Structure 1
């Protein structure tokens, strides 16, 4: 579980990033996990975030606007050192 301090640190790291994935009208499914919720998405962004966390076994850092920030620690190529 991420602490508040760790979440703030990760939010600052993610702020300048452009979302790589998008969730559209079809929502989230098992085969394709996508992470900027488009306006035409029929699912609630919090439900999308939950599905992404569960499907990717990651942790939710924040949901802001239509952007979801997730964190999953790398076991082989750790690049972020959490405080």
Structure 2
């Protein structure tokens, strides 16, 4: 669980990121969950976008993906959301957190 100060630091770090995945009109399936988990393992902090044709709102998609990957939802704004999953070792965010 992130504190408000940690969440603020991660929001600042995510400000310049581009979305790495889009949630489209299909279901959130195992392929998207695995891809998201792999990306989180590599980057720790990712931004995603939910298309207008999606069955999910950004908040619903963020909550579902965070639950399935073990990540924390950092922020949801409009159709975009940010997820964070800290690495066990050698985290790039050790100074921030």
TM-score (norm 2): 0.78
The structure where strand makes up a greater share of residues is: 2
Give the superposed CA RMSD.
1.4
Decide whether the 8 Å contact of 2:23 with 2:50 is kept in 1: yes
Give distance in 1, aligned partners of 2:87 and 2:80.
22
Give distance in 1, aligned partners of 2:89 and 2:5.
24
Map of 2:80 onto structure 1 = 67
Map of 1:54 onto structure 2 = 67
**Equivalent residues in 2 for 1:5-24, closer than 5 Å:** 5-24=5-24
Give, in angstroms, the shift of residue 76 of structure 1.
Answer: 3.2
List alignment gaps of at least 5 residues for structure 1.
none
Decide whether the 8 Å contact of 2:50 with 2:57 is kept in 1: no
- What is the total number of aligned residue pairs between the two structures? 83
The structure where helix makes up a greater share of residues is: 2
Q: Runs of 4 or more off by more than 6 Å in structure 1?
A: none
TM-score (norm 1): 0.89
